[in-house]
Amino acid sequence: MIVRTLDEIAGTDGEVRSENWTSRRFLLKRDGMGFSMHDTVIHANTETHMWYAHHLEAVYCIEGEGEIEVVDTGEVHPIRAGTLYALDQHDKHCLRAHTRMRMVCVFNPPLTGSEVHDENGIYPLEEDEPRQATAWRWPRRSPSPTGPRNDRRNVSHGFSDE
């Protein structure tokens, strides 16, 4: 299980900043989940042109107001807390933040962590890097003096520590 808090990520290399946004990257490619998940703040009164040519992205707004424009069609959609948009066609888009916006962003394939948009608004497709898994085993427990039936630590969860 992976458990992380925003406080643990803030101020580390898991917090990536650009002129228009700050992204706190909770899950990355090395976590082996098949997607990455970020808590991103879009700074007020900014306009960011993006095109995820190599990634699909779903974004859920949890704070603020703005709009997203689909560049190829000129369609404009208002964004406010409670709105989700999914860039399922590698859409070129422009995100305009009227206020500070806080977004939960999910990418597939997952980001590696250090990406920033290039001159075309694209994140590069990073080469595979090995998953940084750590070996972990259930700790061995001493038998309870009252026996296994009354010792909650001896409940089997289908895992073996052998």
* Any domain includes 97: yes
List the domain range (segments joined by +) for residue 31.
Answer: 6-126
Query: Is residue 160 one of the residues assigned to a domain?
Result: no
The verdict on residue 18 lying in a domain is: yes
The answer as to whether 13 is a domain residue is yes
CA quadruple 47, 23, 51, 81: dihedral positive or negative?
negative
Please check the confidence at residue 151 and state whether its pLDDT lies above 60.
no
* CATH assignment of the domain containing 118: 2.60.120.10
For the cut 70, the answer to whether the pLDDT of residue 133 exceeds it is: no
The CA distances from residue 2 to 31, 97, 104, 132, in Å, are 8, 31, 17, 12
Whether residue 90 is contained in a domain is answered as yes
> Is residue 105 in a domain?
yes
In a domain, 152, yes or no: no
For residue 122, pLDDT over 90 is answered with no
Query: Is residue 154, in this structure, part of any structural domain at all?
Result: no
- pTM over cut 0.75: no
Distance CA 153, CA 151 (A): 5
* Higher pLDDT, residue 25 or 120: 25
17 compared with 159, residue with greater pLDDT: 17
Q: What is the pLDDT of residues 54-85, one digit of tens each?
A: 889 999 999 999 999 999 999 999 999 999 99
How much of the chain exceeds pLDDT 90, in percent? 60
Q: How far apart are CA 28 and CA 32, in angstroms?
A: 8
Q: How many domains does the chain have?
A: 1
Answer whether residue 137 shows pLDDT above 50. Answer: no
Q: Are 72 and 98 in contact (CB under 8 A)?
A: no
- pLDDT higher than 70, residue 86: yes
**Distance between CA atoms of 40 and 46, rounded to whole angstroms?**
14
Residue 128 has pLDDT above 80, yes or no: no
